[in-house]
Amino acid sequence: MKIGFHTDAFNSAVFNFEKALAWAQEHDIHNIEAGVIEGVSWIHGLGYFPHISLSEDPMKMRILMEKYGVKFSQIDSAYPLSGENGLYYGVQYVLKSIPWAKIAGCPNIATTDGLKKPQGLTDEQALELMKRAYGTIVETAELYEININIEVHGYFTTNPDLLEKMLNFVDSERLGLNLDTGNSFIAGQDPVEFCKRFVKRIKHVHVKDVSKSLAAAMRGHDTGIGISHSAVGEGVNAENIKEILKILRDTGYSGVLSIECEGQGGPLLEKSVTWLRNTLKELGIPEEM
């Protein structure tokens, strides 16, 4: 398996994207995930934003990343698709991300639903909207040979029965799952059982721990964590993560384990990388660079 991280680890440190690449190189990490924006903004232009813009040249970005020995594992185009705005804004956002990802050498795009049940819509109505959205998105993704992954994050995707319906929206190998170990836990689910049920659909993994205080306050009351303030291995979800790694090992998963945590400018992310590397060794899982 490959170790990576999401560049949102450096949101609070206001790194620019290239500084995140340099951190990855320094710590012998060769896969990263980043959020994308359309257009540009002052915070992006001034170098305070550790993600990328679709206005940037994807081939130049690919060359820059090769200089640091890093490639994309996934880009995050997760505008919520579960509400009515998902059809108007979310679909176009993902569609614009697909050719960019292809040129940049990125195999996966993350998508998701909203944190809460959409107002004014029944579950069935929202699912029908998302089915139309994913039908359009996956049709284009097949042309570009890009995986569209549904991230476990919101009202629908943290409910295993509803998630199963979403994963069956279209009959395509390009529609897969981004398992999130922290969001499934904070939603009150058992992350290990979640992994067992959907392991054949997993194409990318977010490795996220949960602090004891956050679990006590929010577990079962929320569906997703914007950013975890617990280093992986130091929270109450560590044993679940270890069990999930065993399942992934035993079913032949060879993709990326993308760490999601507040980096505190690096130290907390570094702790997470160390724990994950040591755990892979303990479980007899080779780390592929």
User: Mind listing the pLDDT tens digit for each residue in 99-146?
Assistant: 999 999 999 999 999 999 999 999 999 999 999 999 999 999 999 999
Give the domain extent around 169. 2-282
Task: Tell whether 287 is covered by a domain.
Answer: no
Mean pLDDT score of the chain: 96
pLDDT, position 227:
81
More confident residue, 77 or 214: 77
Q: What is the pLDDT of residue 289?
A: 87
Query: In this structure, is residue 228 part of a structural domain?
Result: yes
Mean pLDDT calculated for residue range 162-185: 97
What CATH number does the domain containing 34 carry?
3.20.20.150
Position 228 pLDDT exceeds 90: no
Is 32 inside a domain boundary?
yes
Question: 288 lies in a domain?
Answer: no
Q: Return the percentage of the chain with pLDDT > 90, whole number.
A: 93
Sequence-distant (≥ 6) Cβ neighbours of residue 56 within 8 angstroms: none
Q: State in Å, rounded, how far the first CA of the chain is from the last one.
A: 8
User: How many structural domains are present in the chain?
Assistant: 1
Residue 289 located in a structural domain: no
**Domain-located, residue 210:** yes
Instruction: Tell me whether residue 277 is in a domain.
Output: yes
pLDDT average, residue stretch 232-260: 97
Give a yes or no: residue 70 inside a domain: yes
- pLDDT confidence tier of residue 224, bands split at 50, 70 and 90: confident
Greater model confidence, 227 or 3: 3
